[in-house]
Amino acid sequence: MPSASHRRPTIVDVAAAAGVSRGTVSRVLNGGRWVSPEAAAAVRDAIRTTGYRANEHARSLATGRSNSVAFLLTEPQHLLFEDPTFAILLRGAAAALSRRGMPLLLMVAGTAEERRQVLAYVSGGHVDGVLLISSHAGDPLLEALVRAGVPTVACGTPLGFEQRIGSVGVDDRGGARRMTRHLLDLGRTRVATITGPLDTPGGRFRFEGYRDELGGAVDPALVAHGDYTRDGGARAMAELLDRRPDLDAVVVASDLMAAGALAALRAAGRSVPGDVAVGGFDDSGLAATLEPPLTTLRQPFERISAELVRLLLEVVEGAGPAAVTLPTTLVVRGSTVVGTAPPVDGPDGGPPPGTTATGAPAADDPPADDAPADGAPERAAAR
């Protein structure tokens, strides 16, 4: 038997060190309800000084909770490593849960068999809830999660399940309108678009924003549909140039597709932005590394992750589904404006302190990072 000096600290030791009852310690460990701030602070100090660590298995048996959350990506496995947006969302969610003492389980369901295995696992009580990343309209997994009663919150509007599954996303429609207006204000008159898959919220709503800003009168020859990959963006750009060689701007539904579009324009001998101005969507890091650097719409990924976690934990506690929509920020770079460009044009219409840009960036937008390696097959998150 281990000696008393090496005995693992218990809840009794914490209570004695804090000068409170075991019940008070237990309430602090399970969320802090009905505990005064002073008593909660004393318990937390005692936990640190005694080195106490909760027995998660015992807690799970007592509460019926696993105290863990699944990050569920409904795309092929390789895209987890090739798409920078997934890594940023994963990191942000893990950080938000870590502050609450909860681990994050990564799960991928890109095939029918993976969906079956994932559904069996999450509906078996092994996680308290699911952060659903990259949902597609018609995906049977959404209906299965709802039917199994698994608390779920989606990144982006879960098409067809808006009233049953909560979500966190950006104003895709408004952002695409802003990008289209930016290009029109620069004097561009033949503005094309490369959409994402129209069974994803980003693909659908960004196309609608482009269409809205043009007054609903869209020339079908100026619309090409992509698949959120770099190669898909290149193919769509070549298609547009073949149909409308006189186009002078393009709104692209993701930065990864915009990277492909830039390559296709170079191959066709078109200068950017001289002949064709190009705007993207995401600003996860890739945009600033392109040549020329890409004008794009920045998503506040860290805040999206934090809100996903917050809403999911509320659903776990019994709250109904809710939706949070965050603004995008227009980041102007050399793919639309020659020379030094204003740094950002934010959602609120006023210039940020110390700049001459029109508009203010979101206060918690993260710095650009996680640019993928050149030449790697990539796909942007289906938001």
pLDDT at 346: 52
pLDDT at 26: 81
Domains of the chain, with CATH numbers? Answer: 4-54 (1.10.260.40), 69-170+302-326 (3.40.50.2300)
Taking the C-alpha atoms of residue 154 and residue 323, their distance in angstroms, rounded to an integer, is 9
Which sign, positive or negative, has the C-alpha torsion 282, 286, 289, 293? Answer: negative
Where the chain has pLDDT below 50, the residues are 1-5, 57-58, 60-64, 340-343, 348-382
pLDDT at 239: 98
What's the pLDDT tens digit per position in 22-73?
A: 889 888 876 666 788 888 899 989 988 888 876 554 454 444 456 799 999 8
Work out the end-to-end distance of the chain between its first and last CA atoms, rounded to an integer number of angstroms: 55
pLDDT at 65: 55
Contact in structure between 255 and 287 (CB atoms under 8 Å) = yes
What's the pLDDT tens digit per position in 179-232?
A: 999 999 999 999 999 999 999 999 999 999 999 999 988 999 999 999 888 999
**Residue % of the chain over a pLDDT of 70:** 83
Taking the C-alpha atoms of residue 65 and residue 93, their distance in angstroms, rounded to an integer, is 19
pLDDT at 338: 85
By CB neighbour count within 10 A (0-12 exposed, 13-18 middle, 19+ buried), where does 72 fall?
buried
pLDDT at 81: 76
pLDDT at 383: 52
Collapsing DSSP to helix, strand or coil, 18 comes out as: helix
pLDDT at 125: 87
| Mean pLDDT of the chain, nearest integer | 84
Taking the C-alpha atoms of residue 65 and residue 206, their distance in angstroms, rounded to an integer, is 39
